[in-house]
Amino acid sequence: MIPMIRLTDIRKTYRLRRGMFAPTEELVAVNDLSLEVAKGKTLGLVGESGCGKSTAVSIMLGLLKPDRGEIEIAGQKIGTMPVADRVRLIQPVFQNPNASLNPVKRIQTLVGQPLQLYGGTNVDAEVKRMLDLVGLPARLADAYPGELSGGQRQRVAIARALILGPRVLICDEPTSALDVSVQAQIINLLLSLKKELGLTMVFVSHNLAVVEHLADHVAVMYLGQKIEEAATDALFADACHPYTRVLLAATLLPDPQAGLPEQKLGAAAADPFAAHRGCLFAPRCPAMRQSCVEDPQELRTLRESLVRCERAV
Amino acid sequence: MSDVNIETVRPSVWRKMRGNTGALIGGTLLAVIILIALLAPLIAPHDPIAQDLTRRLLPPFWHDRSVPEHLLGTDHLGRDYLSRMIYGARVSLGVGLGVILVSGTIGITLGLIAGYFGGWIDLVISFAITTRLSLPIVLVALAAVALGGASLTTLITVLGLLLWDRFAVVTRAAAQSLRHQEFIEGLRAIGASRTRILFLEILPNMRATILVVVSLEVANVILLEAALSFLGLGVRPPTPSWGLMISEGRDNILFDPWLIALPGSALCLLVLAVNLFGDGMRDITGPARK
């Protein structure tokens, strides 16, 4: 079966110069990333800030050209696809609904705009249908984003993303800017929409609890590389890569007695410029050996996971 | 969700304006001045350039020597001062509006482009802004008038080409802060064109800022026109302009100070009206924000 969205060996580098006379350095934002999501499934993409999640999202949306590699949606390469076709296949829902809606446009305009741009007819009726689909009363069509609550705004953003009837929805931290009480509503809305419309989703998040709830499949990224990928249950029950384990251990428990989780990463932060052949995570890894720094790590299958660590057992 | 159809209550601009004293006063004053300018041929009691050398320097109505036909007296050539004041409003408003149209278009376009694209485009436009800022307006206007001859068109063109900097600086800064907003990325994700993003999505977000600049600049232009006309670089006599009237009245400042006081107060009122109105409109229009 052809996956709904497939990334093959995507690589994206930025050329940076730190200081006026410094030599240009290459920052590898996404390094040979391959992902596949089957139709109707949800992929959770997790990793700390700067690990290349957002770059990967921009590439999937066609906003950024990868240096090499292919993105296919429903079997079609999006690099050569006309924009009008691309937007009907894949749409984003962004993190911050305060910033993702133009504050001077009315909800009616915002939701209807994608359709309007591509010469859709009957825009008003469609907007009404979409608002109903995401659980907003039709009377809000006249309001401005500033007059809605955060949760309502995110519903508007979802309606706007869905009006063209895309096959794939990319959610870039869609709940992290919302109140905890509203997060659950939005997540349940996404879940029911996914079932109802048969959407394929890529769900980018810091929040592991959300990913566990939503995703069928999880890919963990570190400094542009996919370091572990597994079915959600397998990953949360038995993570293989040391980084994934640390990530899972850092999750806060809803237990006041538990205290703050101890993180075993040492004081170093992820350094995208650190140049060595071996594992990128090695400098912070609690299980590091000399060979980790020297030998390049390849993805290998371990139990139910795909993991980029030779020492994982 | 319930199906109860509640009308969203959004106060109209007019209703909000009634609650804003400044905007109300400014708006009324401005409307009156605009009406006077538009209806000048109907309401002016005399021809503003008809001279009557037998009735020179008649004082205004509050004075003992005043005559009823010349409510605000006459100038040194015996022209009716009230009629000249009325026609002078046309010049002030016309120049103000014309210059803002030219300078606003240039400045807003350049500022938007510089702020949105950044990089070397921004460098070039910023250089143009700095260059423009280093040019003394009166000197450049003097040179342009010397080359092109003094006329209303020259004046509007020269000022329009000189006064776009404030628009550019303000829109550039605003565009810089808006370009990284997620809604811009969202628009690119639905394949919106650059022109659409710049002028239909980013520009409306700057309405409040631009309104303030417009009100400041209109006032600035009106004063500059008066100053240039006073220096003999603007409107040519006998066309009535408030600045020119002040210039012509300065020989008689000692014995007939109203020759300067009247157009001076008119200028002052107009500038005040524009500023009050612009300031009020910024608060009134635009959607509620968090």
Per-residue pLDDT at B112 exceeds 50: yes
**pLDDT on residue A276:** 63
**Nearest CB to B201; choose among A102, A146, A160:** A102
Higher-pLDDT residue of B144, A263: B144
ipTM of predicted assembly, 2 dp: 0.76
CB-based contact, B189 to chain A, within 8 Å: yes
**pLDDT at residue A298, as a whole number:** 78
Chain A partners of B191 at a C-beta cutoff of 8 Å?
83-84, 86-87, 117-118
Taking the CA atoms of residue B116, residue B121, residue B127 and residue B130 in that order, the dihedral angle to the nearest 10 degrees is -10
Q: Does A61 touch chain B (CB under 8 A)?
A: yes
d(CA A288, CA A286): 6
Are A92 and B192 inside 8 Å of each other by CB? no
The answer to whether B179 faces chain A, any CB pair under 8 Å, is no
- Indicate the domain borders of chain A: 5-253+262-307
What's the pLDDT score for residue B12?
66
Q: Does A134 touch chain B (CB under 8 A)?
A: no
Q: If you average pLDDT over residues B115-133, what whole number do you get?
A: 92
CATH code for the domain of B185: 1.10.3720.10
Q: Given an 8 Å threshold on Cβ–Cβ distance, is B182 in contact with A117? A: no
Chain A CB within 8 Å of residue B188 CB: yes
Query: How deeply is A183 buried, as exposed, middle or buried, from its count of CB atoms within 10 A (0-12, 13-18, 19+)?
Result: buried
Of A91, A101, A102, the CB nearest to B189: A91
Does A237 touch chain B if contact means CB atoms closer than 8 Å?
no
Q: Do A98 and B190 touch (CB under 8 A)?
A: no
Q: In this structure, is residue B167 part of a structural domain?
A: yes
Residue A221, strand partner residues: A226
CB nearest A99 (choices: B2, B5, B182): B182
Burial of A257 (0-12, 13-18, 19+ CB in 10 A): exposed
Residue A299, token pair as written in the block? 């993805």
DSSP chain A: ---SEEEEEEEEEEEEESSSSSPEEEEEEEEEEEEEE-TT-EEEEE--TTSSHHHHHHHHTTSS--SEEEEEETTEESTTS-HHHHHHHEEEE-S-TTTSS-TTS-HHHHHHHHHHHTT-S-HHHHHHHHHHHTT--GGGGGS-GGGS-HHHHHHHHHHHHHTT--SEEEEESTTTTS-HHHHHHHHHHHHHHHHHHT-EEEEEES-HHHHHHH-SEEEEEETTEEEEEEEHHHHHHS--SHHHHHHHHTSPPS-TTS-SPP--S-S----TT---SS-TTGGG-TT--HHHHHSPP--EEETTEEE--SS--
Contact yes or no for B85/B219 (Cβ under 8 A): no
Range of B129's domain?
20-40+82-284
Any B CB within 8 A of A129 CB: no
Residues 91-120 on B with a CB inside 8 Å of A are: none
Interface size between A and B, measured as CB pairs under 8 A:
78
Domain assignment of residue B115, yes or no: yes
Of B189, B192, B289, the CB nearest to A146: B289
Superfamily holding A5-253+262-307 = P-loop containing nucleotide triphosphate hydrolases (3.40.50.300)
Q: How far is CA B194 from the centre of its chain?
A: 30
Q: State the pLDDT at residue A268.
A: 67
Is residue B248 one of the residues assigned to a domain?
A: yes
Counting the structural domains of chain B, the total is 1
Confidence band, pLDDT 50/70/90 cuts, at residue B121? very high
Is any Cβ of chain B less than 8 angstroms from the Cβ of A15? no
In-domain check, residue B97: yes
The pLDDT value recorded for residue A256 is 76
Nearest-Cα residue of chain B relative to residue A96: B182
Sheet containing A5-17, strands listed edge to edge, beginning at the edge strand earlier in sequence? A24-37, A5-17, A68-73, A76-77
Q: How confident is the model over B238-250, as pLDDT tens digits? A: 888 888 888 888 8
Q: Is the pLDDT of residue B124 over 90?
A: yes
Is residue B75 assigned to a domain? no
Say whether A146 and B185 touch across the interface (CB within 8 A).
no
What band does B286 get if pLDDT is binned at 50, 70 and 90?
A: low
HEC string for A124-152: HHHHHHHHHHCCCCHHHHHCCHHHCCHHH
Out of A92, A118, A146, the one facing B287 most closely (by C-beta) is A146
pLDDT at B120 (0 to 100): 92
- Residue B268 belongs to a domain: yes
Residues A148 and A158: beta-carbon distance below 8 Å: no
Q: Is residue B1 part of a domain?
A: no
Indicate whether B6 pLDDT > 90. no
Residue B183 included in any domain: yes
A101 contacts chain B (CB < 8 A): yes
**Contacts with A128 from chain B: Cβ below 8 Å:** none
Joined tokens for residue A99: 């910033």
Q: Which of B95, B91, B56 is nearest to B75 (CA)?
A: B56
- pLDDT on residue B89: 87
Q: Is A63 in Cβ contact with B290 (below 8 Å)?
A: no
Average pLDDT, whole number, for chain B?
83
Best to test chain A binding among B5, B178, B182 (most A CBs inside 10 Å): B182
Preferred mutation among A65, A104, A105, A107 to probe B, highest tally of B CBs within 10 A: A104
pLDDT, residue B290, reads 36
- Contact between A62 and B189 using a beta-carbon 8 Å cutoff: yes
Across residues B73-98, what is the average pLDDT? 86
Which regions of chain A are under pLDDT 70? 1, 263-269, 274-276
Average pLDDT, stretch B208-237?
83
Residues of A within 8 A of B6 (CB-CB) are 139
HEC string for chain B: CCCCCCCCCCCCHHHHHHCCHHHHHHHHHHHHHHHHHHCHHHHCCCCCCCCCHHHCCCCCCCCCCCCCCCCCCECCCCCEHHHHHHHHHHHHHHHHHHHHHHHHHHHHHHHHHHHHHCHHHHHHHHHHHHHHHCCCHHHHHHHHHHHHCCCHHHHHHHHHHHCCHHHHHHHHHHHHHHCCCHHHHHHHHCCCCHHHHHHHHHHHHHHHHHHHHHHHHHHHHHHHHHHHHHCCCCCCCCCCCHHHHHHHHHHHCCCCCHHHHHHHHHHHHHHHHHHHHHHHHHHHCCCCCC
* pLDDT on residue A219: 92
Q: Which residues, 6 or more positions from B56, have their beta carbon under 8 angstroms from its beta carbon?
A: B74, B75, B76, B77, B78
Strands A225-231 and A217-222 turn out to be antiparallel
**B9 and A CB contact within 8 Å:** no
* Cβ within 8 Å of A, B 192-211: 192, 201, 204-205, 207
Mean pLDDT across B265-287: 82
